[in-house]
A and B are shown apart, each in its own frame.
Chain A
Amino acid sequence: MNVPTSPNATRLIVIGNGMVGHHLIEQLVALGAHRQYAITVFGEERHLAYDRVHLSEYFSGRDADSLALSNADYYAEHGIELRLHEAVTVIDRNAAEVVTDHARYPYDRLVLATGSYPFVPPIPGNEREKCLVYRTLDDLDAIRDAAADANTGVVVGGGLLGLEAANALRGLDLDTAVVEFAPRLMPMQVDAEGGALLREKIEALGVQVLTGRATQRIEDGETSFHRMVFQDDKVLETDLIVFSAGIRPRDQLARDCALEIGERGGIVIDDHCLTSDPAILAVGEVALWQESIFGLVAPGYQMAKAAAATLTEGDTTFSGADMSTKLKLLGVDVGAIGDAHGERTPGARTFRYLDEIKQEYRKLVVSSDAKKLLGAMLVGDNASYDTLMQYYANGLELPEDPASLILPSSDGAPTLGPDALPETATICSCHNVTKGDICTTLDAGALDLASVKGETKASTGCGGCAALLKSVVDHELEARGVEVDQSLCEHFAHTRQELYSIVRVEGIKTFSELIDKHGTSSGHDLGASSAPKLGSSSSPKLGCDICKPAVASILAACFNEPITDAAHVPLQDTNDTFMANMQKNGTYSVVPRIPGGEVTPEKLIVLGEVGKKYGLYTKITGGQRVDLFGAQLHQLPDIWGELIEAGFETGHAYGKATRTVKSCVGSTWCRYGVQDSVGMAIYLEERYKGLRSPHKLKFAVSGCTRECAEAQSKDVGVIATENGWNLYVCGNGGMRPRHGELFATDLDDAQLIRTIDRFLMFYIRTADRLQRTSVWRENLEGGLDYLKNVVLDDSLGLGDELEAQMQHIIDTYECEWANTLSDPEKLKRFRTFVNDDSPDPDIIVTEERGQLRPA
């Protein structure tokens, strides 16, 4: 599906396929520039652009594919030539060509996005074996190889990148130490008090911290591979050293072809990202704008946007970038806004709050009249970051007592109402979306959060602004008179979550009781006509096909009474009513449970025999089970009688409920397996079978990192590690695929089960109707961090309750088909006609590939 470019199209070459280089391509494609230019991209690494920000997760379960920002198809689809593993060695400006080991390539326009390289301090011995750097996936592979027979590791550098590297070493189970030259950690972001607190928190994780240490030399160790000798002749022995002491621009190509370079490196660019040669642009960490290098991804993206505009004659320019950052390093929140040290503005005043018990430190830097926020520093808790950032970025006047912004309050972090923000307030800094942009989108007809996200891309980068975006959108919609109607349907003016709470708190066990007590009066008050309808008092309150199944699911998740009981059966969708999946001709398919996909030959033979006897079309499902199609209503009890006789149970393929736990064969057979994935899959499936939820639930368990069970595309994915299990949540296949997110690592069996119990019950409590975990997660205010707080740290104190509730479901499990077969009253429904034993005469089948299918 190549995009045709005319043969004499302008040739654009991009050197570098890192995060910024890739973002540039995306910007160009968005502007349609791939039709105007013949684009060639060179990447020195083997890998396509990947997420360097989350590189340390490479050792905690993520692989190169899941870190990738794109795929080769994307480039091919847009007609962009991608030459990976091919380094440009020379830029020949006279001939307007770039040179690699393979060939010379002519260009009309050229963009340098070569990024930076790690700075290695000039310490004697720094070139020894097992002295490594931390920048690329190849670097990480080298670190992993070196760590194989190492027990200890040292990171030289206690800044942002150094702590990231330390996290990576911990991920490799090394006893880790950090050596920093400055007197404190993260000297750029935090002050002495903040640094001390940060140090305490990091040491509590078992990472040794040495500050104010200058390494003099590295030599052979006595007990370990290396010995580091410091200025005071003190020594530290370690098996592995990683240098992560800052970055330097990779500007050699530019130097060699005599582009203008800054005094301390970096290719000089103007507001259009143009270098001293107007045919050549530079973006990202290699570029020097007004004597500054920007070592963060967001400014790099802004440069990419400006460069794309320059190449397409657009208006966007680069006008500097705010270096405020919100980080989570080794699990510790660190935030720095603006002039966090208060050293750039004369007369600046500070407010400081330090809590040594909770280990939180917050500092405000304000103007001399205490009206404007100049900067802020946060350690241990970033909850107030977003609000402070808005004060800072928009120059808003501070409240009378600015200290209230950092003092603990009973209501949690103070937030700035969306109405207080000016139109120019940046809501999403990744995609540079202002409140004004959001209002424009709403005025143009967007009516909900999802369409605002789609139009503006707001909150689709790091996602840190999700809560703020939602409050702005809700507030603006309300201001426009759009009522954000959360009603489930005309019969209930409640959300699913509210109904769930009502059912639990009041112990309501039937739909009739719920609609009598909490339903809207006959649905009329939401109707178009305000005139009272004659005889409305006798109008039925029946509910509808929205609220009935939703309430049925809530009742099942709370009390787990059989859905076939007389009070519940009218609520169910047809699939649940008849415990089979209706197909297009009105017949059903039958899917017995096969936990973990493990089935004995004897049981497999029974499935074959049943299929044969009833003339059922037979197919293997994606969830490692067998689906038998074409059963008429009256045949279902006979079929199930035979299946239950053979030891099968219902598979809930018809329900918004636990479906399957897919597994690979695991350590019992596979030479790569590190845990018994089949055993765990069967355990999980037996545990959660019958659990009803807002939507279907799919699980998988893989026995090693090769991930043959595709667990990362499931609601709950479990991947074996040498030490236990890594848990992924909220993945999805289907129409909108979503990678599961790594939720917790190296759990033992009991921890894994407890975590899944809590996660599932929290989802069941809080999701909307028919909302898969993936969409729920994307709409969850506070995102993954919040979910981790609730489930792993029990921040809401709900843990015991969630577990108890799950235990109730497990204790009350009963096979619905077995229950039905034992009750003649329930079986009466399973008749094609209540007054005639004939089958449905309109069901006509034909043969195809040796099986029957609807004609």
Chain B
Amino acid sequence: MRLTVLTIFALLSQWRKSPFQLVLMVLSLSIASALWSGVSIINKQARVSYDKAGSLFERSKVPLIVSSEKNYFSDSLFGELRTAGILVSPLISGSLRIATRNYEVLGVDLVSQKSNYLGFLSNSNRFLEFIQPPYKIIVNDLTRKNLFQHSLFPEIEINNSLADDTIIMDISAAQNLLNKKGLISRLELYSPEYDVNQSFLTKNSLTILSSDSGEDFEKLTRSFHLNLSAFGFLSFVVGIFIFYSAINLAFEQKRKIVHLLSVIGISKSIITVSIFTELLLIGSIGGILGSLLGYFLALLLLPDVSGTLRGVFGVPMKSSIVLPWSLWLINFIIVICGVLAASLSYQIKIHKAALISRNTHNVSVASSQKSARLLSYIGILILLVGFIFFYFFSQSLELAFSFLGCFLIGFTLLLPMVLLNTITFLSFFTRSITAKWFFSETKTQSHLLNIALMAIVLAFSINIGVSGMVNSFKDTFTSWLDQRLAAEIYLRVPSQKYSTNVLEFSEANGGEVLPIYGTNLRVHDYPSTIYAFKPHATYRKHWPLMQCLKSCWDDIEANNGWLINEQLARKLNVEIGENLVINLPVGNLEKKVSAIYSDYGNPKMQLMVPIDFFIENYPQLKPTTYAVRVNKKKINSFISAAKMQFPFDGSWITDQNSVKIASLEIFDKTFSITNSLSILTLIIAGLAVFSTLVTIGEARRSQLAPAWAMGITKLNLACQEFLRSLILAIVSIMFAIPLGVAISFILTKYVNVSAFGWELPISIHLNDWVKLSSITISILTISILAPLLRNNIKTTQSFLRTFNNE
């Protein structure tokens, strides 16, 4: 034991001499795990929100009103909603610790509750026992056994349809027990959603969770979370890459110490254990730092993420983070596993080298070619696997991402071979010995820089790919918005009873009013929405139809054909002209699909029907939102007149421009997250290059020492090194560009379609490539230059050491 401790100290002493290397390794691990843990925090946070929607005693079949900010809100809002005519019933839930057990307490108000899931009260006595002290509770058999004769609950009734450790009681008792007097968790909403005054919700930070939200949230946002996870994972991989290259390059120094230790008489097993422990230590520090960084990163990104989720998907998400410690632990374990995996070959080499002392740092040309070839074979294999995924993927999001991943990694693994061949090709054009030497040294450098360069290729191509997709999106979306938002003014009345007044006002002021309203509908058991539209020239002229049968609008308005969005067409796999049966309140209707319109950004499927037909199906619904067409010059006067006439709260009336800006903002938010992550990965890759160059610095100098001895100036040598790295970097970037384009293509045509159900046309922005290339090359130039800017004397000493050692 003592020997092991001493050995570990000896090993750690290496870092005292070169602390910078250690810092680099820990830093790379921290940043890698920071992005990964940051993303998993965000994803977990979202999942908690979805669970809130579904974590009812019974999956909620009615919409819920919850706070968008906190877990509990004032129960006075119950009374306010009821007196406004909205039928709601309060629930409070929370965790209660009794003895050593946690129980889930659910407090209900049986009087306002609509559902009959308990169905146990059959006379007034039992009802009174429930709502009056000492408050009878309902539990199942097992829970009753656990609560046996607890003083808190003298009256217990059994209902075995309840889950374990769940206690149902009156809301008053629950509030007291949970120490949440005056608070409730949620309100079940029995009135139609549109009856609830929007400004009331906003003022009280409330939001409505639609009834099928629980599981549908998961479905809808899956792609979003997958996106985030993919980035987190990528960063993690790149970080581990850096660690891998760093630890292997530090091997040389370690080897000397290890050799010495074994010569002294420390056994192989102690050395192996000590190495392992040292790695664990480094991994732990990196992991802990990374988790902390990840937490702050999540805090930073969370507002954007919740904005996206709220805006695009209608999902409420808290902006504050609640973290179970299990998340920290899992992240930590993942980092340790990554570290151990990355250092596996290193540990094996050390184990072998314990007795044999041989300088393995000087890479031979032959061996570098061998390894490059090996990597490219593996790369081709992975590409093949990827194409198999592709062949089978048909709309599965996970398979599409897997294909993307395989394509990315497989292609990247071809880089070493490509670099070697490019250098060989370039050296054909040289005559002088120095040029020849330049290129042969470049090959050596390339082998040592392989991993860092592959990280650059990964990060860069993803940046190109994602920015390509984002640009296509922005282009298409902007022009699509122009089509969708064809009306000049949009307004929303706070309640149906004002509809008539506003309509009359609009028409009196020269506006043509088009109602906008709809409701949820299940089409072939998928969550969809159905909207009414008033037949009007506006739609014929502007509606963004992707495909349209001859005289489609005539058919649609005459109720002889369906008008559906792209998502619905893709999901149900129907084309123009095909027959489609949809179940509506008036019955099962079969019509042909007359037209399909593009509906970017909408995660749901949608169909539109003429307003008369809509009213037939939903006579009780009345619109509260309207589009108004007025003469462009009259927009402002209309809006100010309307605002004076109707003193409604909030921005109930807006013009087309404002709506467009708001819509674009939401999408900017969505992609800003991806953008930030992209740039971060690029920086990490730059760090990879930097750390690699620093680590191999000493070895490189020993390679260059003979040349210096022969009379080549240090400046010359430094410039050569710089040029070598730069050439390698530039070739890598050029290699990455077509990869990036391919990724952009795959993302837009396959991944996006799988995730969202809509497809964008691809547009190429060359100046984006130029911008990204310049950024990357700048990052790389700094990464390459920095290690070369060493003290002159130090370099000389380094060279001399080479000759005078051994």
Decide whether A and B are members of one complex: no
Interface positions of A (Cβ within 8 A of B): none
